Structure 1
């Protein structure tokens, strides 16, 4: 095992960006080297067109992650909700190209990849769309209370939601990477049964872990989450 801590590449949930995970770096958790992954259309990539297809995201983000990680094999992937889907498909792509990583895949706040969402927000008028996304996400984004920020956020959020709602897995062959499915204990959007569906997509070890909180538990206590990921990859 490498003397260095593994690199934890973090894939954002819908409407979010790398800045969310950059705040985690300030916690200074030992045995965790964070690699916040930026999606186009936000923060320093504001001028780039956002993805609307998971396949396009995977094609761009996989080589970007490898370049930023320095092609290290001790790469760990983490994603929440939409990010879980992206992390899973990136893990599939890494196995397809013969990369020795990732060492571990953490999928958070998400049913298994073969359980598509039946209720959709794509195509709804703005107010209905925002209400639907709040219901799906289980929390209200602060930007929704500022008309100017809503104008900036809505196109990104619409693209992310479309990407998530249109997602279909690229294959059914199980991964070999160990998978840990994470869920907030009070998550009313993703049940334990749905989270445990991830056990069926790997031939490697599988674990299910609950943390205090609801669907967005990672907003309230990122330190607990990071310590769990560090302990699981030692």
Structure 2
């Protein structure tokens, strides 16, 4: 089956939205069909209450993703916070006989059973943003604007709380194959931490190390697209 018939559902990183993936234009012919997943509290869902808990988020999102799959072979992708959301969604979609889940791609993230030693939740605004910048390895330009900062802070705080409080709801590994992406210059996630995802599946596992830093995808989606194209056909 040609790769173009596959869908890749993409979960955002903390503070991000579906617009990050919608901006991926002029992708190569071997790219899958990109399906950006929007979370409440941002962009067109700005008025909706954001999620504060990853397990509740996965429970709420899974039926929508099952509908969006439209019977196509479907893979999931997430970076950082998006990685753990994608993992929990994979667990739920594996149980749905109407969904053909082919692969889980996780990026910039330790294995799901490894939490952060330092937390940003509960800090005042300046300390919170400084800690988040340390975690992310970059600062979003919009946070330099006082008005945008006021709008974005509640969403970013909710996302960070969701990530920092996350604990998997099961110790059972997935059946779905996993590819873990960790950029060679990532100062936040070690190679050993990226390899922890091997324990999260009984299926095939690969570690892919593109060039760049923690937020390598802000430069180009091609490292992800090429990693997907390299997966052997099942």
TM range (shorter): over 0.9
Q: How much is the aligned-residue C-alpha RMSD, in angstroms?
A: 1.4
Compute the TM-score of the two structures, normalised by the length of structure 1.
0.95
Q: Which moved more, 1:172-181 or 1:222-231?
A: 222-231
Between the two proteins, the alignment pairs up a number of residues equal to: 232
**Stretches of structure 2 lacking an aligned partner (at least 5 in a row):** none
- 8 Å CA contact retained: 2:181, 2:194: yes
Q: How far apart, CA to CA, are the structure 2 residues paired with 1:217 and 1:42?
A: 22
Helix, strand or coil for the counterpart of 1:103? strand
How far did 1:68 drift? 1.7
Matches of 1:120 and 1:224, distance apart in 2: 29
The secondary structure found in structure 2 opposite 1:27 is: coil
After superposition, where does 1:149-168 map in structure 2 within 5 Å?
149-168=148-167
Query: More displaced, 57-66 or 125-134?
Result: 57-66
Contact 1:104 1:233 in 2 (8 A): no
- TM-score, normalised on structure 2? 0.95
Superimposed CA distance per residue, residues 165-213 of structure 1 (whole angstroms, 9 cap, x where no aligned partner): 0000011111111100001110000000000000011110000000110
Structure 1: which 5+ residue stretches go unaligned?
A: none
CA-CA distance at 1:4 after TM superposition: 4.7
Q: Distance in 1 between matches of 2:14 and 2:26?
A: 23
Q: Distance in 2 between matches of 1:3 and 1:219?
A: 24
Please give the secondary structure, in 2, of the residue aligned with 1:76: strand
Contact 2:69 2:99 in 1 (8 A): no
Contact 2:71 2:100 in 1 (8 A): no
